[in-house]
Amino acid sequence: MKWKRVALWVSIALTAALAAALAWPQGGSRGVLYRVQKGKGTAYLLGSIHVGNNRMYPFGDEIRNAMEASDTFVYECDTDSVEALQETMRRMSQPQEKTLRETIGETLYAQLGEVCTRLNIPLATMDAQPLWVVINTLAVHTTAVEMGVADVTQAMALGVEQQVKAYATEHDKPAAFLETLGEQLDTLEGFSLPLQSYLLQSECEVILQPETARGMDATIAYWPEWWRRGMLSAFSDSYLKGYLEPGYEAECMEYHTKLITERNQRMAERLLAMLAQGDTRFVTVGLLHLVLPEDSVVGLLKAQGCTVTLLSAP
């Protein structure tokens, strides 16, 4: 289920075995890339994995050509400006009604303590953070490990969006955004306590017992290969087979609705407005917003009369 958190699992040994055994394609990565056209407007949509490794690069010709052809580079939201950093810090430092221990209960708090020891993160650091920050912190650490990148900062720098930003900066391309930072943070803060507790417990269980990984978590080591080869259906099939975990259907559906479905609607509406301006844009968004057959930004754009072409098919 947890594409939701961005953290995934298998053993480091399996990651190493995959790297040694798989014949990677020559040239650069295909990724998941669409071209969307309406009127005089064109948008190239690239599906992003937010944490990555070196095996995912360089970008292949289709991606490079699309970037070269684009006037403006579009991302989910602004996370780099001084204003964005200030807003994030303000949200993170808001006083909580209860302590973290009171919020999640003694049992889960004890598990979190074990996880912090395992990751060499002071538990006191977690105590001072909202629950959504704690979940995302653990997710980044675990995803990086499963992708074979020991340094978390390096793993984040190797995320697809960061690599696209590096290209845009080098070529002095202007930036635009599909959402405000406030809208994204509102989504994370708006998760119910049962959903947040479920996500946190799932993270803790996989860190302490990697063999319990299930659903998308059990495929993380494969993601770089899937992305490099343009295996769109591998991502969608893996997610759809496990996103409604038995016993937690309500929590999983809440996650899917708030993080994917509702945001897809918002992104599609804003992309339509951008297409109406008649220029060419390169848009980088989270992979799951593009690949699900019945719940995707590209599906919504098709329904609005856009011509959509998959450019990265194997």
Q: Domain segments of the chain: what residues?
A: 2-15+29-310
Residue 26 has pLDDT above 70, yes or no: no
The CA-CA-CA angle for residues 253, 294, 1, to 5°, reads 35
CA dihedral 88, 155, 12, 120 (to 10 degrees): -50
Distance CA 47, CA 284 (A): 6
Residue 29 β-bridge partners: 59
Judge contact between 116 and 123, C-beta under 8 A: yes
pLDDT recorded at residue 16: 29
Distance CA 74, CA 76 (A): 7
Residue 231 has pLDDT above 80, yes or no: yes
Mean pLDDT of the chain: 87
Residue 8 has pLDDT above 70, yes or no: no
Phi first, then psi: give them for residue 20, nearest 5 degrees.
-80, -30
pLDDT recorded at residue 144: 80
Per-residue pLDDT band for 140 (boundaries 50, 70, 90) equals confident
Q: Which two tokens stand for residue 182?
A: 């406030």
Residue 24 has pLDDT above 60, yes or no: no
> How does pLDDT run across 265-305, given as a tens digit for each residue?
999 999 999 999 999 999 999 999 999 999 999 999 999 99
Asked which of 37-51, 95-109, 123-137, 208-222 is least confident by mean pLDDT, the reply is: 208-222
Sequence-ordered alpha helix ranges (H) in the chain? 12-21, 61-69, 82-92, 100-104, 106-119, 123-127, 131-146, 152-157, 160-170, 181-189, 193-208, 223-229, 232-242, 249-256, 262-275, 288-291, 297-303
> How does pLDDT run across 183-206, given as a tens digit for each residue?
999 999 999 999 999 999 988 988
Residue 22 has pLDDT above 80, yes or no: no
Q: Which two tokens stand for residue 22?
A: 């798989």
